[in-house]
Amino acid sequence: MKTAGLIAIAFGMLIAMPTGRSELPERIESLDPRFDAIIPPGSVVERVADGMVWAEGPLWDAGDESLLFSDVPRNAIFRWRPDAGVTLFMERSGYTGDEPFSGREGGSNGLTFDRDGRLVFCQHGNRRVVRLERDGRITVLVDRFQGKRLNSPNDLVYASNGDLYFTDPVFGLPKAFDDPERELSFQGVFRLAATGELTALVTDIRLPNGIGLSPDERTLYVSNSQRSRPVWMAYSLSTAGAVVGERVFADASGWMQPSDGLPDGLKVDRAGNVFATGPGGVNVFAPDGTRLGRVETGVPTGNVAFGPDGTLYIAANHSILRVRMRGAA
């Protein structure tokens, strides 16, 4: 492995982050012929950055030709460029309070861009969804539902009409379900309409986490990071964006191992295939819910992002990995 050309300094800690590539021993497992049309046989897993505490929320910035990602415990967003490695993009990205954060997951998590190319992200510690303006100011998009503070927004996805869907579990609360500062009685899935109206779409899921939309935006996928019910749900949406039906899209309880991790972040490609992180690494499901194959990372895995020319970036525990796919996602 090539060594880094820089050392990033954050929170008084040194973070050595390699900028080179190395092939990993983890394997790519095909379970269905359709998988080979997505990730060709012979593809390898590469490590492009290392040294994070818990990498999350990867997002490809096409304008800058770089990858943004959160390191949740370090309360920071980092940027990786193929020619420059990792640099600090934003400190205090999820918690900006004056007192030290008493939990482990106070930082930012899910990242996305709005229709105008502005960065929108979930802040665990501040318990809100915010937007980074072009002049560096932070605009709060949502932090309360019916007057009560959100739990800790985790992941998010935009619809083409500007509606924003996001999950709100308790991971960012220092004492989770028993946190004395918790105000909502549920962990929900919300829609923040482009008009500013906030709606709780789902209130009966235990630990909502990753979220994504089908290409026609009529199905909303949500992962449930619950060990006793490790499933991905599919919610049918009306043309107005309301939930009108639900089903279990996939269930990992029959094949996950205790050390595999739990259903976490997800992305949906143009063909409707769901790239769902969690048990075993990155599991790829067809639109009908068939598990086509997986990229085995060997560690709990947080989320994925589609890069240029069919590149899949993976936030896998302490590392950012890369896999070359067949064509654009």
In a domain, 94, yes or no: yes
**Dihedral class, residue 281 (left if φ above 0, else alpha if ψ from -120 to 50, else beta):** left
pLDDT at residue 26, rounded to an integer? 62
pLDDT > 70 in the chain, percent: 91
Question: Tens of pLDDT along 92-114?
Answer: 999 999 999 998 999 999 999 99
Amino acid at 179: D
- Max alpha carbon distance in the chain (Å)? 54
Contact (CB, 8 A) for 130 and 120: yes
| CATH number for the domain that contains residue 126 | 2.120.10.30
In a domain, 272, yes or no: yes
Q: Which residues contact 134 (CB under 8 A, 6 or more apart)?
A: 118
Q: Which helix (H) or strand (E) holds 189?
A: strand 188-192
- Length of the chain, please? 329
Q: How many CB atoms lie within 10 A of CB 254?
A: 6
Question: Nearest 5°: phi and psi at 308?
Answer: -75, 155
3-state secondary structure of 279: coil
Rounded CA-CA distance 208/44 in Å is: 31
| Global pTM exceeds 0.85 | yes
Amino acid at 14: L
Question: Tens of pLDDT along 117-168?
Answer: 999 999 999 999 999 999 999 999 999 999 999 999 999 999 999 999 999 9
Report the domain count for the chain. Answer: 1
In a domain, 217, yes or no: yes
In a domain, 132, yes or no: yes
Alpha carbon 182 to its chain's center: 23
In a domain, 1, yes or no: no
Question: Tens of pLDDT along 220-262?
Answer: 999 999 999 999 999 999 999 999 999 999 999 998 888 788 9
Rounded CA-CA distance 54/57 in Å is: 10
Question: Tens of pLDDT along 257-310?
Answer: 887 889 999 999 999 999 999 888 999 999 999 999 999 998 999 999 999 989
Place of tokens 């939990």: 103
In a domain, 178, yes or no: yes
In a domain, 329, yes or no: no
- Residue 207 domain boundaries: 7-324
pLDDT at residue 1, rounded to an integer? 31
Question: Nearest 5°: phi and psi at 177?
Answer: -60, -30
In a domain, 2, yes or no: no
Beta bridge partners of 113: 119
Question: Nearest 5°: phi and psi at 84?
Answer: -130, -10
